[in-house]
């Protein structure tokens, strides 16, 4: 866990060294406060937002890094002529399915806030100047929706029913 946190800090410092403006959302704030601070940071147009929080549809997520991107010609987000994409810092050299699902959730929740769903998801691994791998959300969106729907269906049963159904 410590190595992962150090990797994330190093990536943020790398971005800062490039002259990007960085807003850090305090991790010790209450979830609702973190979400409010994240929305304010998104609206401010900061280049980078660290530990941004999203909530909606019964979910909450904390993105390692959000990076501002210009909107393509003819497109605008609710934030203006820019939008944000999620980056997750990982020590593993290969991206796991859980990471893609995690980033897809962030993209979904982020899309609700900014009115534009990010097209890409990013995983940052260690390396000289960091290795950033991009994934197209469209390639995983159907699977993400299926997993989310199944999970919500199971959770709707309630804890008591789930304990009875899963007891050995």
Classify the C-alpha dihedral 26-31-32-35 as positive or negative. positive
pLDDT of residue 76: 94
Which residues, in sequence order, are CB contacts of 94 under 8 Å at separation 6+? none
Q: How many CB atoms lie within 10 A of CB 69?
A: 16
Render pLDDT for 100-133 as a digit per residue (tens, 0 to 9): 999 999 999 999 999 999 999 999 999 888 999 9
How far from 103 is each of 16, 30, 42, 168, CA to CA, in Å? 23, 22, 17, 33
Query: What are the helix (H) ranges across 59-158?
Result: 97-114, 141-155
pLDDT band at 154 (very low <50, low <70, confident <90, very high): confident
Dist CA 46 CA 61 (whole Å):
20
Residue-wise pLDDT tens digits, 50-77: 999 999 878 899 999 999 999 989 999 9
């Amino acid at each position: 866990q410590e190595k992962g946190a150090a990797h994330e800090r190093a990536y943020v410092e790398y971005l800062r060294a490039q002259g990007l403006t960085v807003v850090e959302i305090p991790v010790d704030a209450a979830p609702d406060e973190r979400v409010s601070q994240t929305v304010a940071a998104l609206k401010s147009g900061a280049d980078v937002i660290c530990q941004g929080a999203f909530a909606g549809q019964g979910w909450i997520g904390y993105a390692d890094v959000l990076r501002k991107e210009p909107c393509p010609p003819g497109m605008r987000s609710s934030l203006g002529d820019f939008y944000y994409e999620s980056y997750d810092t990982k020590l593993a050299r290969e991206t796991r399915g859980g990471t893609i699902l995690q980033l897809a959730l962030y993209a979904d929740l982020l899309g609700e806030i900014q009115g534009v769903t990010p097209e890409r998801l990013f995983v940052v691994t260690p390396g000289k100047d960091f290795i950033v791998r991009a994934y197209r959300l469209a390639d995983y969106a159907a699977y993400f929706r299926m997993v989310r729907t199944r999970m919500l269906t199971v959770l709707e049963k309630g804890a008591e029913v789930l304990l009875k159904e899963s007891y050995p």
